[in-house]
Amino acid sequence: MSALLWLASSLLAPQVPPRPVVAPRDPSVEAREATTGATAAGTDVDDDVAVREGPAGLSPDTWERAREASDRALAWLAATQSPRGYWVADVGHKQEYDYLVLRDGAANDAAGEGHVGVAAICGLAFLAGGHLPDRGRYGAVVRRTLDYVLAQVSDSGMISDGGTRMYSHAFAMLFLAEVHGMDPGHPQLREALERAVHLVVDCQNQQGGWRYNAFTTEADMSVTVCQLQALRAARNIGIRVPLQTIDDAMAYVMRARTTAGPSRGLFYYKTAGVGAWRKNREYAINAAALTALLSAGVTDPSLHDPVLDFLDDEYEVLRRHFVSHYFFFYGNYYACQAFFQAGGPRYERFQARLVDDLLRTQRPDGSWLNDVGPGDAFATGMAAVLLQVPKQYLPIFQR
């Protein structure tokens, strides 16, 4: 059996859907629930001892500040959510160092349309804090987000609003899968996810990957890993994902690996078409590729170490020049997963630097600036997710 086939077989082996992920309980929490009607999800989740003490690598004071920062971020997100359940954000895509806006967020909002990908990211931020639909302080916020995202799932399975495309489809799939994994019992969720998964499977191209639009012949590493992570989350709750889909996608990832020269071990952005074999030293692309490998259970240090070393060195460039840029938040979304899954001192060092930078750049109102990208809701949702990864409430971020 080939290494890639073994890898895909391992990733997709039938398994029992995981038990709901609910914050650990203690008697004092249960006593408060009996008198106030509060739940373990929501404001009481941080009463858990493990969450209170924080992760290795962060001082108790820093961890407390991180928790307070994520609380302020969630409060800002709750206050800026639209009545329909989305957040105002520009729809577009990266173009070199800029962000090409295809649909202005304010114009979309005036037309009653939102950004389903940013809504999903903000929804993940609340889930990462243990908040579930209709449960806890932000239960109503998560419910509106869930209802909004579900309403954008078309008969074809495409999840889109306001002109969003495959990136947003993947984040929306991930959000729906994580809600289902943490709080089963929503039949509409499963049916919507199955349609969304079928769409991703059907539009995988001959390269084995995906690109900005569905059913295109082009592919890139970033969009491909986005789909892979969403498929993984769907598979984790028991939705069937064809073995061939994952096998072909992982082959695409491995084909993009640099095999010689000073960048040996790093990953290219594209392997065919315009721009192929040109970029193999991009922070987000290498972080995404390594996340795909680690999520699939690949434990070969010769595949991990070159990327982790590169990310470790390149982080300083990112924080100095792109701290309010799309690059910083999206790149660290994957870098955080890669370092977290790898574990050890390198993760602790990365986390300490990232948390310090997020605390330093948070604004007094609880938000983060994103001046090149979808906007502040995107940055704030991403930052809140990153600050709360150590809580491990999101199934996709668990080791």
Q: pLDDT digits over 147-165, tens only?
A: 999 999 999 999 999 999 9
Spatial contact of 20 and 183, defined as CB atoms under 8 Å apart = yes
* SS3 annotation, the chain: CCHHHHHHHHHHCCCCCCCCCCCCCCHHHHHHHHHHCCCCCCCCHHHCHHHHHCCCCCCHHHHHHHHHHHHHHHHHHHHHCCCCCCCCCCEEEEECCEEEEEECHHHHHHCCCCCHHHHHHHHHHHHHCCCECCECCCHHHHHHHHHHHHHCECCCCCECCCCCCHHHHHHHHHHHHHHHHHCCCCHHHHHHHHHHHHHHHHHCCCCCCCCCCCCCCCCCHHHHHHHHHHHHHHHHCCCCCCHHHHHHHHHHHHHCECCCCCCCCCECCCCCCCCCCCCCCCHHHHHHHHHHHHHCCCCCHHHHHHHHHHHHHHHHHHHHHCCCEHHHHHHHHHHHHHHHHHCHHHHHHHHHHHHHHHHHHCCCCCCCCCCECCCHHHHHHHHHHHHHHHHCCCHHHCC
The residue ranking higher by pLDDT, 46 or 230, is 230
Residue with tokens 């790149």: 331
Confidence of residue 13 (pLDDT cuts 50, 70, 90): very low
Q: What is the mean pLDDT of residues 9-37?
A: 36
The pLDDT value given to residue 315: 97
The residue ranking higher by pLDDT, 63 or 398, is 63
The pLDDT value given to residue 53: 63
The residue ranking higher by pLDDT, 296 or 330, is 330
Residue with tokens 């795909």: 292
> Is 60 exceeded by the pLDDT of residue 67?
yes
The residue ranking higher by pLDDT, 19 or 219, is 219
CA distance 318 to 19: 38
Residue with tokens 């899954």: 341
Where is average pLDDT lowest: 107-121, 291-305, 349-363?
Answer: 291-305
Q: What is the mean pLDDT of residues 92-116?
A: 95
The pLDDT value given to residue 22: 37
Q: What is the mean pLDDT of residues 77-82?
A: 98
The pLDDT value given to residue 331: 98
Instruction: Calculate the average pLDDT of the chain.
Output: 88
Q: What is the mean pLDDT of residues 92-107?
A: 93
Q: What is the mean pLDDT of residues 10-19?
A: 40
Q: What is the mean pLDDT of residues 370-394?
A: 96
> Is 90 exceeded by the pLDDT of residue 20?
no
Spatial contact of 247 and 8, defined as CB atoms under 8 Å apart = yes
Q: Please list the residues that pair with 135 across neighbouring strands.
A: 132
CA nearest neighbour of 231 among 217, 212, 210: 210
Confidence of residue 50 (pLDDT cuts 50, 70, 90): low
Quote the percentage of the chain above a pLDDT of 90. 79
> Is 80 exceeded by the pLDDT of residue 49?
no
The residue ranking higher by pLDDT, 220 or 11, is 220
Q: What is the mean pLDDT of residues 52-59?
A: 74
The pLDDT value given to residue 327: 96
The pLDDT value given to residue 283: 97
> Is 80 exceeded by the pLDDT of residue 97?
yes
Domain ranges of the chain: 3-48+72-397
Confidence of residue 319 (pLDDT cuts 50, 70, 90): very high
Spatial contact of 385 and 128, defined as CB atoms under 8 Å apart = yes
Q: What is the mean pLDDT of residues 242-261?
A: 96
> Is 50 exceeded by the pLDDT of residue 6?
no
> Is 90 exceeded by the pLDDT of residue 123?
yes
**Domain 3-48+72-397 sits in CATH 1.50.10.20:** yes
Residue type for position 396: I
Residues with Cβ within 8 Å of 321's Cβ and at least 6 positions away in sequence, in order, are none
The pLDDT value given to residue 95: 87
Residue with tokens 């509409």: 188
The residue ranking higher by pLDDT, 254 or 5, is 254
The pLDDT value given to residue 46: 54
The pLDDT value given to residue 36: 29
Q: What is the dihedral of CA 330, 336, 337, 338, to 10 degrees?
A: 110
Q: What is the mean pLDDT of residues 183-203?
A: 93
Q: What is the mean pLDDT of residues 38-54?
A: 51
Supply the pTM of this predicted model. Answer: 0.89
Number of C-beta neighbours around residue 369 at 10 A: 16
